[in-house]
Amino acid sequence: MRNIKCLLLILIALTSYSKSQAQSPKIKFGMPGIYPEGVTFNSKNKLFYVGSVTTGTIGTVDMNGIYKPIYQDSLLKSTYGLKMDPNQNLLWACVSDANYSKYSEPSTRKKIGRLIAIDLKSGKKVKDIDLASQYEGKHFINDIAFDLQGNIYATDSFSPVVYKIDKDGKPSVFTKSENFESIDIGLNGIAFNKDGYLIVNNNSQGALYKIDLKSPDNVTRIKIKNLFPGADGMLFDNTGNLVLVQNKGVDKVHQLSSTDGWQTAELKASTSAEDRYQQPSTATMSGEQVYVLNSKMNELSDPIKRPSKDFTIQLVEFKPAK
């Protein structure tokens, strides 16, 4: 009897341990070698949209993991940040030739920087905005955010600027700052706050900056105890917390909060190591839930690594920061 009780206790302990070590749920989709970096969710048709840094192809992923390409053009080189414009039923995509495209060529590598819009009803490209012409230098258009008036703001990871595209489609340099500079990847993620400012991160520094929309030259570093080298996609969730994706070996997702309009911030929660994210890049929301794309892009720097055949969109489950 004693042996049976001991066995039961061991089984209960192992079950509890297994549950505590389990990864958060994933949506697995197969498309060998596409290496998606951007993801966004369309609440109208319940589909995720993902891009590709190797081919530029844009496709959909449903909740069952079925992938379907919807737009392909080798001139895109690579697609990065994606965002839905629900008012116009458009899907916006950042287009650049930063490093990994199989269509890369000397005339485009680190030189092109575009923002395109795909009409989801027709599947056709209806807008194509050249941002590289707005600022001299290397270019890598990485992520975008919308304000309440329909203006779009885009980060450039190879130049220290944030671009603005007004609701009529006219591009300009919105702000420039030495805070955005880097010898590698500079600006990356960007998020709009309804109180009238943008939050951007510098991927190499791991720092966060606040940009006042009314005074865009007013760029201030957010005071926080933590640094987030490898900071990538960001968004504000439905409770006003900032969700930040971090890769470069850390491979976690964080939830930050502020009580003073993002002059300062604190780490509120993070995902656990047991979730085993694989070079997470960008995040999106489905209702109250946050999902993050596992890009696996670190594999592209390994010459002996065989291309992955599948990728995942993973549900984020935060645990309070200690």
- To the question of pTM greater than 0.75 for the whole model, the response is yes
| pLDDT averaged over every residue in the chain | 93
Q: What is the mean pLDDT of residues 293-317?
A: 94
The one-letter code for the residue type at 26 is K
Q: Report whether 300 contacts 17 (CB < 8 A).
A: no
Task: Write down all domains in the chain, each with its CATH number in brackets.
Answer: 25-320 (2.120.10.30)
Is residue 9 pLDDT above 90, yes or no?
no
Confidence of residue 313 (pLDDT cuts 50, 70, 90): very high
| 48: three-class secondary structure by DSSP | strand
pLDDT in tens, 46-87: 999 999 999 999 999 999 999 999 999 999 999 999 999 967
pLDDT in tens, 111-127: 999 999 999 999 999 99
Measured CA to CA in angstroms, residue 176 lies from 95, 135, 179, 318 at distances of: 21, 10, 9, 34
Measured CA to CA in angstroms, residue 105 lies from 74, 98, 184, 185, 321 at distances of: 11, 11, 20, 20, 45
Burial class of residue 206, CB neighbours in 10 A (0-12, 13-18, 19+): middle
pLDDT at residue 3 in the model: 52
Q: Report the share of the chain in percent with pLDDT over 70.
A: 93
Q: Report whether 257 contacts 270 (CB < 8 A).
A: no
Which residues touch 74 (CB under 8 Å, ≥6 apart)?
Answer: 55, 56, 103
User: φ, ψ for residue 202 (rounded to 5)?
Assistant: -105, 115
- Cβ neighbours, 10 Å, residue 218: 13
Is residue 1 pLDDT above 90, yes or no?
no
pLDDT in tens, 30-55: 999 999 999 999 999 999 999 999 99
pLDDT in tens, 141-190: 999 999 999 999 999 999 999 999 999 999 999 999 999 999 999 999 99
